[in-house]
Amino acid sequence: MDSNTQASSLLKYKTAQSLCQLLDILWSSGGLVDSKAVALLTAIPTLKTLLQPIAGSEDSDEESEIYAYCLSSPSLNAYNELSQLGEWQLALLGLNPEVRAHWLNLAAARCREAGAMNDPMVLVKLIQQLGNASEWVLAQLENTSVSAGATPQIAAGPLAQLERDLLGHSLNDNAAIPALCRILRACFKLHTLSEQTEALTPIQLVDTSAKQLANNWCRGRLLALPDAFLSEHSLNQPLKPNDDWLLVSRPVNDEAKLIECFAHQPWWLLLSLVSFVQDAWAAEQRGGLLLTLPAGQNAFAPSQVNVAVQGIDGDEVSLGSLAEFLMQLLGELNIALYPELNNSAEDIQRLNRALSPLIAELLANKIWQFTEAGRGEPGHYRIHPDFSDACYSLPLAPLFGYKSQHLQQAIKQLAQTSYVNKRSASSANRINS
C-alpha cells in the first residue's frame, strides 16, 4: 500500500475510528505496545518523532528491540491545551495532511465568512484562536483563490460521524468553531515540533528489582502523578498507567524493606532524596534547603509545604510550594508528569494536596520528621535521624550515594540557582523603586 493510499484510507470512518481507539489506549496507559503502535505510526508517521520509544532492559539480549512507545512532553502539552480527550485524538489524527485538509477548508471558510462581516474584530478573534495555525489557513485561502470554483465551503466532511462521536458535534457546526481552532492550533504546534526534532532516543524498561532504581529517572521518562491525583482525574477519564514503562506508584506491604518501598513508590524516593540533599547541605554549614509548614496546619495532612533556601548569612528566599519546586525539578530532568499539569494556581494546589498523604506516609515510616516551632512560627520537615543513618549503610548506601548523584545534583542546583535569581530580582526591584 503506497503512502497516498494509506492517507486516503484514514478518511474512512472505520479506519479513523480504530486509530482513535488506539489513541485512547495510548492516553489511558501512557503508551502503546509496539505491535499496536505500528498501525498508528504507519498511518501517522509524524508521531514517530513525538512518542518516546521504550527499548529492552540492560540485561536483555534484545536491547535494541522496541517494546513500546510512550507519550512525551509535546504530546502531553498538546492534551493540556485542549478541552477534552476527543479534541486531542483529532489533533493527533490531523497530523496526517489528508485528514486535516477538510478542517483547514472549514477554517478558511470561517475566516472568509468573518471577513465579510461589518465587525472586523470577529476575524481578528478567529485568527487569534487559530494561533500559528493561521499560516495553514492563509495558505489554504491563497490556494483556493487561484483555483476556479474552489471556494472553501462549510460542509460536513468524511469524518463528520467520528467528530460527533468524539466531540458531540461535527466540526462544521457553528458551535464547533472554538474546538476547530484548538485542534488545528495543537496540530500545527505538534507538526512544527516534529519537523524541528529527530526521533527520541529509546530508554529502558522500568526496573522494579531495586538494582538500578536511579536509572529509571532518565530523560524522557513519565512519572505518574500521586494516586490521590490520579483517582481524582480518573473520575472523568479512567487512567491505568503501565508500570513497565512509566514510574508508577504500586502498593507495598507493611513488612517491605525500604529499598523495596522505593522501587514501588517513586514519589517516596523523590521526596526522600529532597530531604537527603537538605541534610547533606546543612552539614556543609553553607546555607541550606528549608521545608516549612505554615502555622496552624496538621503536619500529617498539610495542604501545602513551602520550600525556601537559607543563605550563608541566614537570609531566606522563598521558592514557592513543594509542588512548584518538584514541577521545576522534573522539568530540569526532562521527566514529564502524567497526566500533564499546567502551571495554573489550581493545578499546583491540587498537586500540593496530592502530596499530603505521601508526606504522612514518610512521617509514619520515619523517613521524614517534623519539628514544631514557636507560637505562630512555621514548623520544619527534615530527614529522620534513623533514616539518615540508614542512607549511609547497606542496602541504601549505593542508592543514596553514587547511583542517584544526578538527581541530588539537580535538586541542589535548582535550589541554588533559584536562590541567586530571586535575590538578584529582589535587588533589581529595590534599585528601580
Minimum mean pLDDT range among 292-296, 330-334, 372-376: 372-376
Quick check: is 225 in a domain? yes
Contacts of 77 (CB under 8 A, 6+ apart): 340
Identify whether residues 273 and 310 lie together within a single domain: yes
**Cα distance between residue 412 and residue 416, in whole Å:** 6
Domain end call among 196, 225, 257? 196
Quick one: DSSP state of residue 247? B
Q: What is the structure's pLDDT at 235?
A: 66
Q: What is the structure's pLDDT at 64?
A: 64
Identify whether residues 43 and 118 lie together within a single domain: yes
Identify whether residues 224 and 160 lie together within a single domain: no
3-state secondary structure at position 292:
strand
Identify whether residues 171 and 217 lie together within a single domain: no
Residue with grid cell 497526566, as numbered in its chain: 339
Q: What is the structure's pLDDT at 57?
A: 54
Identify whether residues 98 and 240 lie together within a single domain: no
pLDDT at 2 over 60: no
Q: What is the structure's pLDDT at 313?
A: 87
Identify whether residues 139 and 77 lie together within a single domain: yes
**Cα distance between residue 373 and residue 384, in whole Å:** 17
Contacts of 280 (CB under 8 A, 6+ apart): 408
Give the residue with greater pLDDT, 146 vs 377.
377
- What mean pLDDT comes out for the span 316-338? 97
Q: Packing angle between helix 345-364 and helix 322-333, nearest 10 degrees?
A: 100
List C-alpha distances in Å: 374 to 52, 332, 377. 50, 36, 5
Domain end call among 196, 224, 242? 196
HSE on the CB side for 358, CA within 13 Å? Answer: 26
pLDDT at 150 over 70: no
- The reported pTM is 0.92
Quick check: is 369 in a domain? yes
β-pair type (336-338, 66-70)? unpaired
Q: What is the structure's pLDDT at 209?
A: 84
Q: What is the structure's pLDDT at 5?
A: 46
Quick check: is 207 in a domain? no
Identify whether residues 185 and 282 lie together within a single domain: no
Q: For residue range 364-404, what is the model confidence (pLDDT) as tens digits?
A: 999 999 999 877 789 999 999 999 999 999 999 999 999 99
Identify whether residues 147 and 218 lie together within a single domain: no
Q: What is the structure's pLDDT at 142?
A: 87
In degrees and rounded to multiples of 5, residue 239 shows phi and psi of -120, 130
Q: How many domains does the chain have?
A: 2
Quick check: is 235 in a domain? yes
Give the residue with greater pLDDT, 230 vs 102.
102
Q: For residue range 245-262, what is the model confidence (pLDDT) as tens digits?
A: 999 999 988 889 999 999
pLDDT at 149 over 60: no
Identify whether residues 190 and 217 lie together within a single domain: no
241 pLDDT tier (thresholds 50, 70, 90): very high
Q: For residue range 52-75, what is the model confidence (pLDDT) as tens digits?
A: 999 975 554 444 689 999 999 999
Residues 109 and 76: beta-carbon distance below 8 Å? no
pLDDT at 215 over 70: yes
428 pLDDT tier (thresholds 50, 70, 90): low
Domain of residue 366 covers 213-428
Mean pLDDT of the chain: 91
